[in-house]
Structure 1
Amino acid sequence: MKTAVAFLAGVASGWMARSTVDNSRGAVVSVATAAFDLVAWTRRVIATEREYLSDLVAEARSRANLHQAHSRRAADSGARPVADSREGHA
């Protein structure tokens, strides 16, 4: 009796799955399309974040070079370097 119930449950679940999906090829194509969309979205997000990080590094490098140039100019003239207005204020 348990075997017959299990068999009927298997047939019913297979029938329901088959009726919800046209055929297995359509399901595979849908899943593959979703996967390609996800990969494209992921690449866009990574490219955006990489560009943001590159901009941050470039800005930091520019500020560091500017700070070094001011320090060198101050050292060459014998004057004390001017402190950044943000330094010393808590």
Structure 2
Amino acid sequence: MKTAVAFLAGVATGWMARSTVDTSRGAVVSVATAAFDLMGWTRRLIATEREYLSDLIAEARSRADSHQAPRRRPADASARPMENGREGHA
């Protein structure tokens, strides 16, 4: 009894698959088209995420630089450029 049910289920599945696809070539082309669409979608997703990550890193660098800027020592206005390895004063 189980064998007959399994056989009928297999026949029904094959019949439905055959009725939805004209030829096996059509099925292969449909699968390949879906694969190319998926690859294109994946490439766009990766490019978008890469750009987002790049923007995130640039913003973090900018904030880090702006936090470090006030800590830098301002140049002494009375000091002249170094001459012979020693700093000269007016």
TM-score range, shorter chain: 0.5 to 0.7
For residues 56 and 3 of structure 1, the distance between their equivalents in structure 2, rounded to whole angstroms, comes to: 61
- The residue type paired with residue 31 of structure 2 is V
Aligned residue for 1:61?
61
Superposed displacement of residue 52, structure 1: 0.7
For residues 73 and 39 of structure 2, the distance between their equivalents in structure 1, rounded to whole angstroms, comes to: 51
Aligned residue for 2:31?
31
Q: How many residues align?
A: 76
For residues 9 and 66 of structure 1, the distance between their equivalents in structure 2, rounded to whole angstroms, comes to: 70
Aligned residue for 1:14?
14
Determine which structure has greater relative contact order: mean sequence separation of CA pairs < 8 Å that are 6+ residues apart, divided by chain length: 2
Deviations 1:11-52 (A, max 9, x none): 444333212210011011111111111111111011111101
Percent same amino acid at aligned positions? 83
Structure 2 regions of 5+ residues with no counterpart? 77-90
Q: Determine which structure has the larger helix proportion and give its number.
A: 1
- The residue type paired with residue 56 of structure 1 is L
Structure 1 regions of 5+ residues with no counterpart? 78-90
TM-score normalised by length of structure 1 = 0.65
TM-score normalised by length of structure 2 = 0.65
- The residue type paired with residue 70 of structure 1 is P
The CA RMSD over aligned residues, in Å, is 2.4
For residues 17 and 51 of structure 2, the distance between their equivalents in structure 1, rounded to whole angstroms, comes to: 45
Inter-CA distance 71–11: structure 2 relative to 1 (3 Å threshold): same
Q: Determine which structure has the larger strand proportion and give its number.
A: 2
